[in-house]
Amino acid sequence: MAQFKEVSQKSKLHPKPEGLTLQYGTAGFRTHAKHLDHIMFRMGLLATLRSKKTKSTIGVMVTASHNPEEDNGVKLIDPMGEMVTALWEGYATQLANAEQDSLLKELKDIIEKEDINMSEPASVYVGKDTRPSSASLSQAVLDGVSSLGAHLKLSYYGLVTTPQLHYMVCCCNTHGCYGSPTIEGYYQKLSQAFLQLTQNALNRTDDQKRLLVDGANGIGALKMREMEPFLRSEMQVVLSNDGSSGKLNHMCGADYVKVQQNAPQGMNMGVGERCCSFDGDADRIVYYYTDSKGCFHLLDGDKIATLISTYLKELLTQVLHHMLMAVTVCCTKTGVKHLHHAAQEYDIGVYFEANGHGTVLFSKAAQKQIQDLVKDPNSNDERKRAVKLLESTINLINQTVGDAISDMLVIEAVLAIRGMSAQDWDAIYTDLPNRQLKVTVSDRRVIDTTDAERRAVSPEGLQDTIDSLVKKYKSARSFVRPSGTEDVVRVYAEADTQESADSLAHEVSLAVYRLAGGIGDEPKPL
């Protein structure tokens, strides 16, 4: 076939370094950018196959999100804007690791297994973040897509946030039902919903509308600037780390703030002022403020989930007063794809990782019920208001994936409607002092976990050691798990005081280092 001939020729321009193997991880392939050219080309091929198979538009995003600037990565976006299925993650790994001379064989194997009709048309949307390597790597994706070229619609969006690409893929495949599949359509949909919601907040001063935003020196900063005019004067954004000078994610961004429990560089925080940080591709957000004693307070994904779910519960109580409403808490493995699937099991699923990655899902039935209630002539004023608020909240949320800009607007609207400050929000509950550390080991896969990654089943003896260390401290817990995006093991510890949490985290890190093949220097006390 002519198509395969072209693949064969073009793939020589994107050769695979012999012996290099990579795994499609928590959020796609992610490693140093210099290892990724062949991966990008091949993911272009795979996205085209996935599009032919599903008869839908598929997205390919070139980004490494929170990772350092030298890294890069790629992930595929399925038709409804969700992460690609586990089966296709397997194909991605299979294709990525095929040596140069067996690439066509592996490609044909996938076509055969999936019974793909190669004369079907294909449509692929490609986007990239602001990393220096993203320009040439996204070109490699485009080469891959176009080499399987017949009946192809290839749309290259250039610089976009990851959630914007998810949104556009979903809009395209729902034929505009979810919104208009353009960046402008995204700004319009979200800003209209935001302006409708904030109409319900009376007499806000300019100070109350003010939000300090750390753009992580990434794409989120650019897109926030683009969006500002759409928000009229209902939000006063003070942007720092906007990419004009600093390095991506360096001493700034959501991951830095969450892990360091400290303000990013370059942000001038007044006492009690609301601040937030995006990550490198703007799919995560954390909030924070400092109190009058100069003490830093983090409002992470757990706090965001609490704020949004208590707000939704309040509205639903006003709308459904006589009906039973249960709030269930469910834990999954790390990775939004796991949380997303769990959230889909409910009428309304609010999911957030502590690192600030999350969104809210409304089932079709729940959305239909809310739409019917909007039209119900028998509603009293309180109920009408609550239903309208719910409707606008649904429109403001990017249900395809966690989205820093959308989440930020939801949080700002909820705080405004409820007349809450950052301190009021923080007071909903008190976090135990905690600490997160990383340990480098020679092969992080030696750590295997169970119970939503809360217990380690291998290497032998590690969990027993953790259990006995935890017993030494008050109100303590500690978990270890291999990262899905970096070559490290993550350690989490909490206890009654910061000192205890730090000491437990250090002791557990040492246990990981000793029992799981640590490399480099032994972890030092904090």
Per CB under 6 A, residues contacting ligand G16 are 26-27, 65-66, 279, 283-284, 334-336, 353, 355, 357, 483-486, 490
CB of 73 to ligand G16, least distance (A): 8
CB of 18 to ligand G16, least distance (A): 28
281 annotated ligand-binding residue:
yes
**Structure-derived torsion over alpha carbons of residues 248, 250, 251, 253, reported in degrees to the nearest 10:** 40
Looking at the Cβ atoms of 220 and 235, the one nearer to ligand G16 is 220
426 annotated ligand-binding residue:
no
CB of 53 to ligand G16, least distance (A): 24
69 annotated ligand-binding residue:
no
Q: Are 469 and 508 in contact (CB under 8 A)?
A: yes
Catalytic residue selected from 8, 51, 56, 65: 65
- In this structure, what DSSP letter does residue 54 have? H
Q: In what order do the strands lie in the sheet with 275-278?
A: 236-240, 210-214, 275-278, 285-290, 296-299
Residue with tokens 């017949």: 150
Pairwise CA distance, residues 243 & 253, whole Å: 11
Tokens representing 507 are: 């002791």
Looking at the Cβ atoms of 111 and 342, the one nearer to ligand G16 is 342
Tokens representing 494 are: 């909490």
In the residue annotation, 421 being an active-site residue is answered as no
CB of 519 to ligand G16, least distance (A): 18
* Bond prior to 17 in cis (omega within 30° of 0): no
Task: List, as own/partner pairs, every contact residues 348-351 make where C-beta atoms lie below 8 angstroms and the sequence separation is at least 24, other chains included.
Answer: 348/312, 348/316, 350/305, 350/308, 350/309, 350/312, 351/305
424 annotated ligand-binding residue:
no
71 annotated ligand-binding residue:
no
CB of 487 to ligand G16, least distance (A): 10
Looking at the Cβ atoms of 42 and 66, the one nearer to ligand G16 is 66
Looking at the Cβ atoms of 315 and 404, the one nearer to ligand G16 is 404
64 annotated ligand-binding residue:
no
Radius of gyration for the alpha carbons in the chain, expressed in angstroms and rounded: 24
Looking at the Cβ atoms of 14 and 66, the one nearer to ligand G16 is 66
Looking at the Cβ atoms of 43 and 370, the one nearer to ligand G16 is 43
Q: Which is nearest to 475 in space by CA: 495, 457, 453, 446?
A: 495
Q: Which is nearest to 317 in space by CA: 325, 309, 328?
A: 325
CB of 229 to ligand G16, least distance (A): 27
CA angle at 34 for the pair 441 and 82, rounded to the nearest 5°: 80
CB of 484 to ligand G16, least distance (A): 4
Looking at the Cβ atoms of 355 and 406, the one nearer to ligand G16 is 355
- Residue 281 phi/psi, 5° resolution? -120, 15
Which DSSP string do the residues of 187-208 spell out, in sequence order?
Answer: HHHHHHHHHHHHTTS-S--HHH
Q: Which is nearest to 284 in space by CA: 259, 256, 255, 262?
A: 255
Q: Are 126 and 60 in contact (CB under 8 A)?
A: yes
Tokens representing 332 are: 């999954």
109 annotated ligand-binding residue:
no
482 annotated ligand-binding residue:
yes
Q: Are 55 and 73 in contact (CB under 8 A)?
A: no
180 annotated ligand-binding residue:
no
443 annotated ligand-binding residue:
no
Measured in residues, the chain has a length of: 526
Looking at the Cβ atoms of 239 and 404, the one nearer to ligand G16 is 404
355 annotated ligand-binding residue:
yes
Cite the beta strand spans of 446-494 per DSSP E: 448-450, 455-458, 477-482, 489-494
Tokens representing 213 are: 């935003």
Pairwise CA distance, residues 392 & 390, whole Å: 6
Cite the beta strand spans of 261-372 per DSSP E: 275-278, 285-290, 296-299, 348-352, 358-362
Tokens representing 224 are: 């926030």
CB of 187 to ligand G16, least distance (A): 22
- How many Cα neighbours within 13 Å face the side chain of 14? 30
Tokens representing 237 are: 């954004």
Residues in the annotated binding site for Mg(2+): 65, 279, 281, 283
Q: Which residues are catalytic?
A: 65
